[in-house]
Structure 1
Amino acid sequence: MGQINAPYGANAKKTIVGRGASSKGRACGRGHDGQNSRSGGGVRLGFEGGQMPLYRRVARRGFSNAPFKVTYEVISLDTISANYADGETVSLETLKEKGIVKGVGVQVKVLSNGSLTKKVAFEGVKMSQSAKAAVEAAGCSVK
């Protein structure tokens, strides 16, 4: 059995530019003269050449609730039926263990999509009114 070799020229050495004027031509991939062609050159993020930058032109007034907004992961009764066995407890911790819900500050709400075929206990999980009625009709406990 012979050795398999790459054809000549297939593995070219990476050209490192920006290490002197002779490195691949005069400007070595940085264009011609100017601030960005120099070592250490360039402007900070958001700089617009002395023009008043966008982050200072746009007014910031009032209160924004965005940092405090609570979003809920929606879970259907079908998902619970598929992933839980009889007698198990549905809580935020068990949902995370089973990989149904991911994330750190995540909140969960159960909606009544589908039907519940298992008798499970719900603990510390937000539910819609129709989901709560369907769960209680199936004989499950809700805390």
Structure 2
Amino acid sequence: MKLHELKPKKGSRKPRRRLGRGISAGQGASCGKGMRGQKARSGPNPFRGFEGGQMPLYRRVPKLKHFTRVNPRRYTTINVGKLAGLEANTEVTLATLNEAGLINDAEGPLKILGDGEINVPLQVKAEAFTKSARQKIESAGGSCEVLT
């Protein structure tokens, strides 16, 4: 095989369309672009995202880094440090904390946060725990049970 014998594979190279060269050429008159309008004109088409004069999507959506959640999950939170005042081996739930006066408004499920220190073993039952809260409760000899 020599350099002058090289050819592209049959069917891989197509001739370019010769637009507007008469009806027998197949692309005469309107060149396959329809009658008139912005996309039939010579030159580039409208920019990407153009919606025909309608307010485009990228301008309709909020300009924030994130969208707010429609139904956010709101927890009743309490820190581990506030649980340190309870007696040993007490069962801690949302109802018992409300009775003890440690929380004022029980609006949602209970979540235990890890701020503060605890050295009393407690049986805590809540819907969610932070890693540090779980670690502190278990290192004090207590247990964490996740409710669903």
TM-score by length of 1: 0.48
Larger radius of gyration: 2
